[in-house]
């Protein structure tokens, strides 16, 4: 297992990596819905995303555009936000689809589920609300 000295500043042992059809569309969605910021954006000569890194809250995720060598996949993430209801409504306005309406869960979080424009599932939650 790598220790902290072997990782870049701000990274953790596990970093999600998405390969999608429509990487630019997903990046735009993540910025608008989850206040993501792009920290790296490498492109192929034709402008497609070769490798991007985004920060959402205190976490980093990576993504790229699918190709013949890298098949698209779908992922499932759990994301803590300041306001589940507000984030849920914003995501829907941006084109996400509903998987689970916001509700108070037995474990103490207020949670909702959405599917983004590339088919990834996001469980958004506010702890102890």
| Beta-bridge mates of residue 109 | 127
Q: Assign 129 a pLDDT band (cuts: 50, 70, 90).
A: low
Domains, the chain, in order of start with CATH, read 17-127 (3.10.180.10)
| Beta-bridge mates of residue 43 | 49
**33, two tokens:** 């819905």
User: What pTM does this model have?
Assistant: 0.92
Pairing of strands 49-56, 37-43: antiparallel
Task: Write the pLDDT tens digit of every residue in 62-121.
Answer: 999 999 999 999 999 999 999 999 999 999 999 999 999 999 999 999 999 999 999 999
Q: Assign 43 a pLDDT band (cuts: 50, 70, 90).
A: very high
Cβ burial 87-102 (10 Å sphere, 16+ → b, else e) = bbebbeebebeeeeeb
Contact 88, 102 (CB under 8 A): yes
């Amino acid at each position: 297992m790598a220790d902290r000295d072997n990782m870049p500043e701000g990274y953790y042992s596990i970093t999600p990596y998405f390969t999608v059809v429509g990487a630019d569309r997903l990046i735009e969605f993540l910025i608008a819905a989850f206040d993501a910021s792009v920290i790296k954006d490498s492109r192929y000569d034709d402008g497609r995303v070769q490798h991007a890194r985004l920060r959402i809250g205190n976490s980093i995720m990576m993504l790229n555009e699918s190709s013949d060598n890298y098949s698209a996949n779908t992922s499932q993430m759990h994301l803590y936000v300041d306001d589940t209801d507000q984030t849920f409504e914003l995501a829907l306005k941006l084109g996400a689809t509903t998987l689970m309406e916001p509700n108070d869960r037995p474990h103490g979080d207020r949670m909702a589920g959405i599917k983004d424009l590339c088919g990834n599932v996001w469980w958004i939650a506010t702890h102890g609300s």
